Structure 1
Amino acid sequence: MTVKVVIDSICSPSTDLVEKYDIPIVPINIHVGDTIFEDVIEVDARDLYQKLENDEEKITTSAPSYERFLIEFKKSLDTHDDCLCMTVASTVSNTYSLAMKARDEFDEDKRNRIHVFDTNTAGPASSLLVMEAIEMANKGKNIDDILSTLNELKPNAKFALILSTLKYVQRSGRVGKVTSIAGDLFNIKPLIYLNNGEIKFFGRARGMNQGYKMMIDEFKKDTLEKEMIRVAISHSNVEEEALTLKNMIKEIYPDLSVDISPLTLAIGLHVGPGVVSIGYIYK
């Protein structure tokens, strides 16, 4: 039994892994002024972050059309027994519901071969679940075994990030302007995590270095003495800061592999440049 994994761009691992494993991506739409680009496929991250910082044009994002899912599902079923579509948490995007809508367009036989999986998280945490599924599929595991493992890991998949500024979150309407100005004035860096589909603030740091320590403390508390840990770091245009966080993880787990990749723009454009995030799963 063969399984093809399809993902939305918010779940995307690094470009190298996407190319190595030939992972089909349904991209989130990025609106720059009156022009629409596709996340991952058509955009220059540095250019967009520059436009965002300079407030040159209005930049927003939107979910992909369900027709894009239809196309990828059909391709997958033409060559594989089952298609596993993995999406960002349904609590923060309607991508999951669009994938389900596309699935419902097929006849019963094909519909039963399409499996839409809500990762209940985002960014690097979702990408780690994706890689777990792909590695199992490449070993010949069937869809039931893969889904069983994913459902076991999903409650322990956490995506955490530290905001360098509240300015961009304020633009999106998630915090008030006064709160944003006060936070930047006093160098307050909020820490946020997404786990089990729920976004929570778990701390406020005075400066990025204190924020990194708080993130690592949370990571260590969750993963200490666990039998399996996978971790990845994503950043919005600050690779050196991501390396700092990687070195802190290596001090705890010297033998642990830690991948670093750019944060998907579908998230990065809402939180702004200068953000470092960590995703991890464990059991």
Structure 2
Amino acid sequence: MAQKIGIVTDSTADFPDGVIGRLGLNVIPVHVIVDGISYLDGHTISNDEVKSYLLENRDVSTSPPTPAEYADHFERLLGKFDILLSFHISDALSGCYKSARSALNLMDSKDADKIKLFDTGTVSFGQGQYICRAIDLIREYKSINGLDKRMSGFLEKSVVNFTVDNLAWLRKGGRVSAMSAIVGDMFDIKPIIAMKNGRLVPVDRKRGKKNTFKAMAEYASKTREGEAGGFDLWVGHCNALDDAAYLAGKLAGALNYPINDIIILEIGPTITAHTGPGSVGWSMMPRL
């Protein structure tokens, strides 16, 4: 009899509407902390509430699930599955992976041996694409053996790229200095940030949204130079659907990609807390 495999992720991963249910994903909520009060992403706080709190200049931050919380989730899921594959945000950006690994030490060794943790090396819609591709590979090979090695090849050629409307939230998270944030907002300077080796790295900056989206599309085109084969393209946003649609159009033109095949999604509370309303980005993952 085939083993039942459960797919687990943190709420740091973002997906198109309906994908979580269709793929039967098990999402462990990150803590969203507002003025010192802890809420659970998607359970006791909504995305709209997080956006409102940010716009009200409330103190909003996030914290990983505790090892005990991970252990509780893992033990409950092992009542339904034989094996758990747990996919986490880049270890360089969050303590989720470390907390999940610590959880294994709290569990019976026989149960802990049934759980395989993955540091996806990415975040948000990039993390969502990583998980979807991993599921594709499991179905293709009908096995989880060698999955981490196969996924490393896909991750090397995947791209995540985003910008924010207001530098205040990146400043709060330590991504830019206070002076850079003040000057950037004063002159409408938008950073373009990419995932590189599991970390967020500024790759460009432009004045104004249209120049920024044009530069992001050019960046996408450069990443495909010399590359063959198809790829999936997602555009994510926080309360910025019109901007996301505009960026999708620019990406379609730059990549000669069918615009109707570009998936547009809204990022969830955990990532919203760090990038803020108006943030927009895209992710690209090679197909099988």
User: Residue in 1 aligned with 2:107?
Assistant: 106
Shift in Å at residue 139 of structure 1?
5.6
5+ residue gaps, structure 1: none
Could you give the per-residue CA deviations for residues 2-34 of structure 1, whole angstroms, max 9, x where no partner exists? 321100111232341112222111111011124
Shift in Å at residue 165 of structure 1?
2.0
Compared with structure 1, are the counterparts of its residues 255 and 181 closer, same or farther at alpha carbon in structure 2 (3 Å cutoff)? closer
Percent identity among equivalent residues?
22
Does the 8 Å CA contact 2:85/2:118 hold for their aligned counterparts?
Answer: yes
Deviates more, 1:118-127 or 1:187-196: 187-196
Q: What residue identity is the alignment partner of 1:42?
A: T
Is 1:270 equivalent to 2:271 in the alignment? no
In 2: Cα distance, 1:235 partner to 1:47 partner: 16
1:84 match: secondary structure: strand
Does the 8 Å CA contact 2:235/2:280 hold for their aligned counterparts?
Answer: yes
Q: State the TM-score, normalized to the length of structure 2.
A: 0.90
User: Residue in 1 aligned with 2:55?
Assistant: 53
Shift in Å at residue 215 of structure 1?
1.2
Could you give the per-residue CA deviations for residues 116-175 of structure 1, whole angstroms, max 9, x where no partner exists? 000111011110011112334456721114333212212223221112121222233432
2:142 match: secondary structure: coil
User: Residue in 2 aligned with 1:187?
Assistant: 188
User: Residue in 1 aligned with 2:240?
Assistant: 238
Shift in Å at residue 107 of structure 1?
3.7
Does the 8 Å CA contact 2:7/2:24 hold for their aligned counterparts?
Answer: no
Is 1:253 equivalent to 2:257 in the alignment? yes
Could you give the per-residue CA deviations for residues 185-239 of structure 1, whole angstroms, max 9, x where no partner exists? 2111111111321221100111111111111111122124431312211111111
User: Residue in 1 aligned with 2:42?
Assistant: 40
Compared with structure 1, are the counterparts of its residues 14 and 75 closer, same or farther at alpha carbon in structure 2 (3 Å cutoff)? farther
Equivalence map 1:127-206=2 (5 Å): 127-138=128-139, 141-206=142-207
Compared with structure 1, are the counterparts of its residues 268 and 216 closer, same or farther at alpha carbon in structure 2 (3 Å cutoff)? same
User: Residue in 1 aligned with 2:25?
Assistant: 23
Compared with structure 1, are the counterparts of its residues 15 and 72 closer, same or farther at alpha carbon in structure 2 (3 Å cutoff)? farther
Q: State the TM-score, normalized to the length of structure 1.
A: 0.91
Q: What residue identity is the alignment partner of 1:67?
A: A
Could you give the per-residue CA deviations for residues 76-104 of structure 1, whole angstroms, max 9, x where no partner exists? 33333321100000001010011111123
Q: What residue identity is the alignment partner of 1:22?
A: G
Shift in Å at residue 256 of structure 1?
7.2
Aligned residues: 282
Compared with structure 1, are the counterparts of its residues 257 and 248 closer, same or farther at alpha carbon in structure 2 (3 Å cutoff)? same
Q: What residue identity is the alignment partner of 1:152?
A: G
Compared with structure 1, are the counterparts of its residues 103 and 231 closer, same or farther at alpha carbon in structure 2 (3 Å cutoff)? farther
User: Residue in 2 aligned with 1:226?
Assistant: 228
Q: What residue identity is the alignment partner of 1:259?
A: I
Does the 8 Å CA contact 1:157/1:195 hold for their aligned counterparts?
Answer: no
Does the 8 Å CA contact 1:82/1:143 hold for their aligned counterparts?
Answer: no
Compared with structure 1, are the counterparts of its residues 269 and 153 closer, same or farther at alpha carbon in structure 2 (3 Å cutoff)? same
